[in-house]
Amino acid sequence: MALANNTRYGLSASVWSENVNLALECAVRIKAGVIWVNSHNLFDAAAGFGGYKESGYGREGGKEGLYMYTKPTWQSRVRPTITEAEKEAPWGAAAPALPGMVGSSSSALGSRGIDRTPKMYIGGKQKRPDGNYSLPVYSHSGDLMGQVGDGNRKDCRDAVEAALAASPGWGKRAAHDRAQIMFYIAENLHVRTEEFASKIAAMTGCTEAQGEREVEASISRLFSYAAWADKYGGTVQETPLYGLTCAINEPTGVVGVACPDRYPLLGFVSLFAPAVVRGNSVIAIPSEKHPLSATDLYQVLDTSDLPGGVLNILTGQRDVMSKTLAQHQGVDAMWYFGSALGSYHVEKESARNMKRTFVGYGETRDWFDPKQGEGEEFLREASEVKNIWVPFGE
C-alpha cells in the first residue's frame, strides 16, 4: 500500500487477488479515483471516472460528473470580474504587526481582570505563535478586546503536520463515532451560549439576542452534520457489469479552511463541521476581524473527545496563511471565503499540485439559510468519490 500510494498521481488502479477480503481492503486504501478488482479498464457512463491528487479531481460520468457544470439555485453569478491589474498586484504578503493599545477593555478581561491572549490550537494543544507576534482585536465600538497570535508560515507547517498525523486514524473512525463527537461539541457549546453570545455582540456590534441567535444556529448546524455523518457513504451504480460497481465517498484528506468575517461563529462552524464529520482533518483560519469566537472553542473541543490534530485553528492574517496552505503539498483541498481577488489567487496557487478548491468569489452568503450555509454542497466538497468495480463469478 505504501508503494502504491507513493506517487503524485492517483487516476486508477487494479487489484488482483483470490482473497476478496484482502482485495477490498486494498481497494479502499489505495488513493485512486477508480479501482478495478480482478479486472481492468471497465467503463460506463453511469459510473464516474476520475482521479485523486495530481491526476485531477473532476469526474466524467455518473451523477458526480454533472456537479462541475452546475451551481446552487440561489447563486446568481459564479465568478466576479477581476481586472488584470488586480491579478498582478501582490497578494498574501505578511504585513508587520503593529503595536496595539495598552491595556484591555473590561469586556475582554472579565470580572477578575485576567488578561488572556489566546494561542494557536495545533495538535489538540495551545501553542504560542512561532513569530511571537500578536494582533489586536477590537470591539465594534473601537475598544481593545484582547490579542491573538499572528500566524506565519511555520505555524501553517506545524498545523499541516498535525493534520497529516491525525488524518489516517480519524478517516477510519466509524461514522457513528464521528457523529457522537459532533453531538458532544454541540452540547458543550450549548452550555456556554450566554458567554459566546456576549462575545459576538461585543465584537460585531449586534444585540445580545442576535448573538444568541448565531450561537443557537451554530449548535443546530453541528447537530445537522452529526446526523449526516452516517448518511453520505455512497451509492451502488447501475452499470452493465455482472457484479458490483460501488461509488464510495471517501475523505478528501487535509483541508485548509479560511472563514468569512461575517458571523464569526456560525461561519466557522458551518465550514469546519462538514469537513470534520466526513473524516477529514482541518486547518481553520477564523474571521480575521472577529477571531475570539473560534479561540473560545478550544475548551469546548478539549472536552468533547475530538482527537488532537483533527481540527487545528490558526489566527492572524487570513490571506497570508491562505497563500501558504494553498501552496503546501501536504494540503489536499483549500476552502476560501474571503475576497474575490483572494479566491482567484487561492485557485491559482492551488494549481501547482491540482489541489481541490472551494471558494466564495467574494460573494456574501446568508449563513443562517440552510440552502446557502449547509447541506450536500459542503459534503460533496469534503469528499472524494471512488468507484470500485467488482465482477462476480470466475
What band does 251 get if pLDDT is binned at 50, 70 and 90?
very high
pLDDT (0 to 100) of residue 107: 46
pLDDT (0 to 100) of residue 109: 44
Q: With 60 as the cut, is the pLDDT of residue 105 above it?
A: no
Low-confidence winner among 92-96, 238-242, 260-264 (lowest mean pLDDT): 92-96
The pLDDT tens digits of the residues spanning 159-211 come to 999 999 999 999 999 999 999 999 999 999 999 999 999 999 999 999 999 99
Residue 373 lies in a domain: yes
Place of cell 457513504: 233
Torsion of CA 59, 65, 68, 71, to 10 degrees: -160
* 76-115 per-residue burial string, b: 16 or more CB within 10 A, e: under 16: eeeeeebeeeeeeeebbebeebeeeeeebbebbeeeeeee
Alpha helices in the chain (DSSP H): 2-5, 20-29, 84-88, 106-109, 153-172, 175-191, 193-204, 208-228, 264-277, 292-295, 298-302, 318-327, 340-350, 370-373, 376-381
Domain membership of residue 257 as a residue range: 84-391
Residue 357 lies in a domain: yes
Residue 328 lies in a domain: yes
Q: With 50 as the cut, is the pLDDT of residue 106 above it?
A: no
DSSP sequence for 63-115: GGGTGGG---TT-S-SS----HHHHHS--SPPPPPPP--SS--HHHHTTTT--
Distance CA 315, CA 173 (A): 28
**Average pLDDT in the 218-244 region?**
95
Q: With 80 as the cut, is the pLDDT of residue 246 above it?
A: yes
Residue 51 lies in a domain: no
Which residue, among 104, 120, 149, 162, has the nearest Cα to 308 in the 3D structure? 162
Distance CA 314, CA 312 (A): 7
Residue 64 lies in a domain: no
Distance CA 66, CA 78 (A): 16
pLDDT (0 to 100) of residue 76: 80
The crossing angle, in degrees rounded to 10, of helices 208-228 and 264-277 is 10
Pairing of strands 281-285, 254-258: parallel
What band does 108 get if pLDDT is binned at 50, 70 and 90?
very low
**Average pLDDT in the 298-327 region?**
96
**Average pLDDT in the 255-268 region?**
96
Question: 38-42: which pairs have CB atoms within 8 A and are 24 or more residues apart?
Answer: 38/390, 38/391, 39/14, 39/389, 39/391, 40/14, 42/241, 42/389, 42/391
Q: If phi over 0 gives left and psi between -120 and 50 gives alpha, with beta otherwise, what is residue 296?
A: alpha
Higher pLDDT, 357 or 69: 357
Share of the chain above pLDDT 90, in %: 80
Q: Cα 230 from chain centroid?
A: 18
Share of the chain above pLDDT 70, in %: 95
Higher pLDDT, 50 or 104: 50
Low-confidence winner among 80-84, 271-275, 322-326 (lowest mean pLDDT): 80-84
pLDDT (0 to 100) of residue 99: 55
**Are 257 and 284 contacting, i.e. CB atoms less than 8 angstroms apart?**
yes
Residue 33 lies in a domain: no
What band does 332 get if pLDDT is binned at 50, 70 and 90?
very high
Q: Grid coordinates representing 238?
A: 447501475
Residue 24 lies in a domain: no
Place of cell 496563511: 321
Which one-letter DSSP state was computed for residue 49?
B
Q: With 50 as the cut, is the pLDDT of residue 110 above it?
A: no
Q: Grid coordinates representing 265?
A: 461563529
The pLDDT tens digits of the residues spanning 15-62 come to 999 999 999 999 999 999 999 999 999 999 999 999 999 998 889 999
Query: Domain count of the chain?
Result: 1
The enclosing domain of 355 has a CATH number of 3.40.605.10
Residue 75 lies in a domain: no
**Average pLDDT in the 81-105 region?**
73
Distance CA 135, CA 321 (A): 14
